[in-house]
Amino acid sequence: MTSELLDQALVEEATKKSGLIWVRGAGAPAARALWHVWHEGAACLVGDGPGEQPLPGLAEGATAEVTVRSKDKGGRLVTWTAKVVEPAPGSEAWESAVAELKGKRLNAPDGEAMTQRWARECRVLRLEPTGDLAPLPDGSLAEPPLPTPATTRRPIPAGLPRLLLKKRRRK
C-alpha cells in the first residue's frame, strides 16, 4: 500500500511541476510533447482544433503512455499509464478542466471566446493515472524528429554585431 501511495504522489507532483508531458496514444508512431494542466487527479489537455495542439491516438476509453520530465534537468522522471477520458462539452467536469486550462493557455488568438471555440471545435481530454508505472529505460530512447516545414535560422548579417555594439556605446 505504501508503494502505491508513493507512486501516486510521484506521478502527481512530477506532472504538476512539468510544463510539458510526452504522450503516446494507442497507435501513434511516437510520443508528442503536449502542454497540460494537472487538475483533480488527472492531466488535462486541449487540442485537435484550429490553432491547438494535435492529439493523435488519444481516443475516449483508450490508454496512453505519459512520460514526465524533470523541470530543471529535463531528464525522464516517470512514465505512467493513463486512461483517456473525454468529458462532454458543458458538463461539470469539462467546465472545471477548461477553467484551469484557460489560465495556462498562452497566446490565444480569441481571448475570452476561447472556451466557446474549444466547445465547438476542439477536444478537452483528461489523462487519468491507472496506477501502472513503466520501469526507467536503460538506453536513451531518442527518436529522430518528426517531419516539419519549419526551417533553421540563417546566419546573422556580418554588420549586425557592429550595429548592436554602437547602440550600447551611445547609452
SS3 content of the chain, % helix, strand, coil (to 5): 30, 30, 40
CA distances from 155 to 2, 118, 151, 152, 161 (A): 55, 39, 12, 9, 12
Distances (CA, A) of 93 to 37, 80, 104: 14, 22, 17
Average pLDDT over residues 6-13: 90
Q: Is the pLDDT of residue 21 over 90?
A: yes
**Segments making up each domain of the chain, as ranges:** 2-170
In whole angstroms, give the CA distance from residue 136 to residue 132. Answer: 13
User: What pLDDT is attached to residue 1?
Assistant: 61
Q: Which CATH number is associated with domain 2-170?
A: 2.30.110.10
Nearest-CA neighbor of 82 among 107, 103, 55? Answer: 55
DSSP designation for 113 = G
Give residue-wise pLDDT tens across range 82-127.
Answer: 999 999 999 999 999 999 998 888 887 787 788 899 999 999 999 9
Is the pLDDT confidence value at 53 over 60? yes
Give the pLDDT band of residue 163 (cuts 50, 70, 90): confident
Please tell me the pTM assigned to this model: 0.77
- The cell 488568438 sits on which residue? 109
Whether 170 shows a pLDDT value over 60: the answer reads no
Chain-wide mean pLDDT for the chain? 87
What average pLDDT does range 15-35 have in this prediction? 89
Nearest to 60 by CA among 10, 133, 123: 123
Q: Does 19 score more than 70 pLDDT?
A: yes
User: How many Cβ atoms from other residues are within 10 Å of residue 52's Cβ?
Assistant: 19
pLDDT at 101: 92
The yes-or-no verdict on residue 26 having pLDDT over 90 is: no
* 3-state SS, residue 131: strand
Set of cell numbers at residue 108: 490565444
Enclosing H/E stretch for 7: helix 2-17
pLDDT above 80 for 9: yes
